[in-house]
Amino acid sequence: MKNKFLSILCFLLTGFILYTLSNMELTYRAAVDDSSTVKTIYLTFDDGPSYKITNQILDILKEKEVKATFFLIGNKVEDRAEIVKRIYNEGHSIGLHSYTHKMKQIYKSEDAFIEEMKKTEDAVYNVIGVRPKIIRFPGGSIGHLDEDFHEKLHDLGYKVYDWNARISDGYVPSKSPDVLYKEAIKTSKKWNTVFLLMHCSETDKNTVQALPRIIDYFKEKGYIFKTIDEKTPEYYFKYKKRKP
């Protein structure tokens, strides 16, 4: 009973964090020059791989001839190896999104966070023979990343990627495809370089339905679709610099 209560509490806490982030006016520190007239979008999907939804998303990406970045949960990788292989073989990028996606466990300490990422890195390597070094903090890096921790992650070869546009499928997957589509447009309007947060877990069937329209919108607006890799300038929520 206690474990069930804690699981529900963690789920609600995750939802609250994502809701808060989605409604905050966040600032970013990044090497991205958003004054560029070249419009670029990075489609990103968290919380996979899932059996049905991730494959459906891959089908749409293939049909639309665009690539995306998938931040995977490590404990889902081994028994869904064929999906991970498909992501990689079809030219998409793979990043790390923790091993358990359990907030209390992940953020217990910096060492605990790093261990989660290393285990996920190992899991992906065992499937495709490549060690991803791009990471996304579950719930975003705000409140978890500071200059010292960032340097520690860099020493391990990791680079951090948050987002500047999103749909709310991560905490309200039941929102209609039309609402999700409108959220993608509304939250991305002021950016020439868009990092769009979406999800591909088992509950995100409405994301699948919204995705073709989202892709078509950005194509019509002249955006270039890119994947995140280790050469992509980092993009993360701003944190306070260490005092001299």
**Which residue type occupies 60?**
I
Radius of gyration of the chain (CA): 17
Asked if residue 233 lies in contact with residue 32, where contact means CB atoms within 8 angstroms, the answer is yes
Among 46, 47, 162, 204, the active-site one is 46
Catalytic residue among 97, 101, 150, 199: 199
* 46 is known as an active-site residue: yes
Q: Can you tell me the distance from the alpha carbon of 163 to that of 40, in angstroms, rounded to the nearest whole number? A: 13
Say if CB 228 and CB 161 are below 8 A apart. yes
SS (HEC) of the chain:
CHHHHHHHHHHHHHHHHHHHHHCCCCCEEECCCCCCCCCEEEEEEEEECCCCHHHHHHHHHHHHCCCCEEEECHHHCHHHHHHHHHHHHCCCEEEECCCCCCHHHHCCCHHHHHHHHHHHHHHHHHHHCCCCCEECCCCCCCCCCCHHHHHHHHHCCCEEECCCEECHHHCCCCCCHHHHHHHHHHHHCCCCEEEEEEECCCCCHHHHHHHHHHHHHHHHCCCEECCCCCCCCCEEECCCCCCC
Give the residue numbers annotated as catalytic, written as ranges: 46, 199
